[in-house]
């Protein structure tokens, strides 16, 4: 699940929280970036996001906002804290669930796939250039794969309205 899916959940499914993705750091952090920032390792390499969350009305990162997004990622993607489970999205913990002196993400959300089996981390699943980052839209992809009505809210709405009309005639 990437940035666009997180944005969808914040903008549509969980709009009442009034949160937005402010910025994303390190989606493709690499060894060159590590040297510039004097880091010795990375858990990113296209396999992680550091997401900064803002209220709709400001650009202030807070741990409370980040925790709300962590809760959403657990709800919608079955993400887990830490890295003990296999093939699940992992979240770095925050102050509310820190164990001992472990490293935590306070005002940002760290989300990664480091525990995924290698079969799910093949190079073919990663973009190679800027033009490929956005890829095709979900509706185009669904149609190309034969799922014509997957992203068509009108079809569901029309079917529900027809069912209501039939039931009202029966009464």
| 70 and 127 co-located in one domain | yes
**How does pLDDT run across 5-39, given as a tens digit for each residue?**
788 888 887 888 888 888 887 665 666 767 777 76
| 69 and 41 co-located in one domain | yes
Query: In the predicted model, is pLDDT for residue 157 greater than 60?
Result: no
Query: In the predicted model, is pLDDT for residue 116 greater than 80?
Result: yes
Structural domain of 166: 137-171
| 23 and 68 co-located in one domain | yes
| 20 and 81 co-located in one domain | yes
- The average confidence (pLDDT) of the chain is 80
| 128 and 161 co-located in one domain | no
| 150 and 124 co-located in one domain | no
CA distance 140 to 97: 40
Mean pLDDT on 140-168:
67
| 121 and 157 co-located in one domain | no
| 125 and 146 co-located in one domain | no
Put residue 16 in one of left, alpha, beta given phi > 0 → left and psi -120 to 50 → alpha: alpha
Q: Which one-letter DSSP state was computed for residue 107?
A: S
Please, which pLDDT band fits residue 101 given cuts at 50, 70 and 90? very high
| 102 and 24 co-located in one domain | yes
Query: In the predicted model, is pLDDT for residue 152 greater than 80?
Result: no
Query: What Cα–Cα distance (Å) separates residue 73 from each residue in 16, 36, 40?
Result: 16, 31, 28
pLDDT of residue 16: 87
* Domain tally, the chain: 2
| 79 and 146 co-located in one domain | no
**How does pLDDT run across 39-66, given as a tens digit for each residue?**
666 555 678 888 888 888 888 888 999 9
Query: In the predicted model, is pLDDT for residue 91 greater than 90?
Result: yes
| 129 and 165 co-located in one domain | no
Q: pTM surpassing 0.85?
A: no
| 12 and 74 co-located in one domain | yes
Side by side, the strands of the sheet bearing 19-25 are 19-25, 48-55, 109-112, 90-91, 80-81
């Amino acid at each position: 699940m990437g940035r666009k899916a997180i944005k969808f959940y914040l903008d549509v499914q969980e709009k009442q929280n009034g949160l937005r993705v402010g910025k994303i750091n390190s989606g493709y952090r690499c060894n060159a970036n590590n040297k510039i920032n004097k880091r010795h390792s990375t858990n990113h390499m296209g396999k992680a996001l550091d997401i900064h969350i803002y209220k709709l009305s400001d650009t202030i990162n807070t741990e409370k906002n980040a925790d709300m997004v962590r809760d959403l990622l657990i709800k919608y993607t079955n993400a887990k804290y830490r890295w003990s489970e296999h093939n699940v999205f992992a979240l770095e913990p925050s102050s509310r669930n820190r164990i001992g002196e472990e490293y935590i993400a306070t005002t940002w959300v760290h989300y990664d796939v480091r525990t995924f089996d290698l079969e799910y981390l093949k190079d073919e699943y990663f973009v190679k250039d800027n033009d490929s980052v956005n890829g095709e839209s979900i509706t185009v992809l669904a149609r190309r794969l034969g799922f014509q009505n997957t992203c068509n809210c009108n079809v569901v709405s029309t079917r529900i309205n027809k069912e209501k009309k039939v039931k009202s005639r029966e009464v």
